[in-house]
């Protein structure tokens, strides 16, 4: 299974942008990059996903490196409600979504 590497934790000030990095050096050409987040005491929720091009949605932006060996989830203005564990996952065709340990984001008021 292709693996991802993320920092254990990050901090951000409220109302400032946050860049959450993910390394996936063993990614294959057909692997999609997915991001999920888990708010305290809740199940994970989908944030965004992409294959090659950068993606934007109402929650966040996903910037994918040209060689696809890394990606960055961008929260444009962090709020206290964005404090969560953020997971970067590679989805291949095997139906397995393997979650790593994720990045715990702390947002400071």
Closer of 95 and 109 to another protein (Cβ): 95
Query: Where do contacts with another protein occur on this chain (CB under 8 A)?
Result: 34, 36, 38, 42-46, 49, 87, 91, 93-102
Distance of closest approach, residue 79 Cβ to another protein, in angstroms: 21
Distance of closest approach, residue 85 Cβ to another protein, in angstroms: 8
Distance of closest approach, residue 59 Cβ to another protein, in angstroms: 13
CA distance 88 to 34: 6
Closer of 81 and 109 to another protein (Cβ): 81
Distance of closest approach, residue 24 Cβ to another protein, in angstroms: 16
Q: Which residues lie closer than 8 Å to 58 by C-beta, 6 or more apart?
A: none
Q: Which residues lie closer than 8 Å to 51 by C-beta, 6 or more apart?
A: 32, 33, 64
Task: Give the number of C-alpha atoms closer than 13 A to the C-alpha of residue 40, restricted to the C-beta side.
Answer: 6
């Amino acid at each position: 299974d292709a693996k991802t590497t993320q920092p254990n934790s990050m901090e951000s000030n409220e109302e400032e942008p946050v860049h959450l990095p993910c390394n996936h050096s063993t990614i294959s050409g057909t692997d999609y990059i997915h991001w999920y987040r888990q708010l305290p005491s809740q199940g994970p929720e989908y944030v965004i996903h992409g294959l090659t091009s950068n993606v934007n949605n109402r929650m966040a932006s996903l910037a994918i490196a040209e060689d696809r060996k890394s990606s960055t989830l961008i929260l444009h203005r962090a709020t206290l409600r964005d404090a969560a564990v953020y997971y970067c996952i590679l989805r291949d065709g095997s139906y397995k979504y393997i979650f790593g340990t994720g990045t715990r984001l702390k947002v400071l008021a």
